[in-house]
Amino acid sequence: MKKGTLLLIGLIALFGVYACSSYNGLVGKDNLVQKAWGEVQNQYQRRADLIGNLVKTVQGAADFEKSTLTDVINARAAATQIKLDASDLTPENMAKFEAAQSQLSGSLSRLLVAVEQYPQLKANQNFLELQAQLEGTENRITVARKDFNEATADYNLAVRTFPANLMAGIFGFSQKELFKATDAAQTAPDVNFKF
């Protein structure tokens, strides 16, 4: 065989090995994004489940504001209706998902503030345990979102860097959206203690 033919076969083999390695690396990073997104959804579902129990506990207070409970119930229903697959993490879908979750967070915050006016609820052991679990879940959500953003940033970097971006284009790998802070998070809360 000619030296040129062997060189060509060697280059084709080298390209084939690189293409397989690049493809497998992108698949692995995509799987990590999907796993991280699954954990984000898991923690949001945990919060939704806890909120249902919290609402049932609070409903036991006969004179508790019904509109506050209705807001929480409606926000919880809206947040759990939005199902977002890791393969469809577009900016628009992420914005809808985060808006629903933010609405639920706001309703939940209003509920917990309203509870301050009810000493029997503040002393209720079930309520205190649920409140502590919700606080822990909010921390878990924060960690899950951070892990998701790290996995997604690593994936996005792999999809965009040369020469892997060539393989990403050939095999249909595209960038995924990160979690971003909501507009409300950009404004510091106004804390005013009156004595």
Count of C-beta atoms within a 10 Å radius of residue 163: 10
φ, ψ dihedrals at 157, nearest 5°: -65, -45
* pLDDT tens track for 141-171: 999 999 999 999 999 999 999 988 988 999 9
Average pLDDT over residues 85-104: 88
Question: What proportion of the chain, given as a percentage, has pLDDT over 70?
Answer: 90
The identity of residue 67, as a single letter, is: S
44 pLDDT above the threshold of 70: yes
Band of pLDDT at residue 63, cut at 50, 70 and 90: low
What's the predicted TM-score (pTM) here? Answer: 0.79
**In the predicted structure, residue 187 carries a pLDDT above the cut 70:** no
Please tell me the number of Cα atoms within 13 Å of 115 on its side-chain side.
22
Q: How far is CA 117 from CA 66, 110, 112, 184, in A?
A: 14, 12, 10, 26
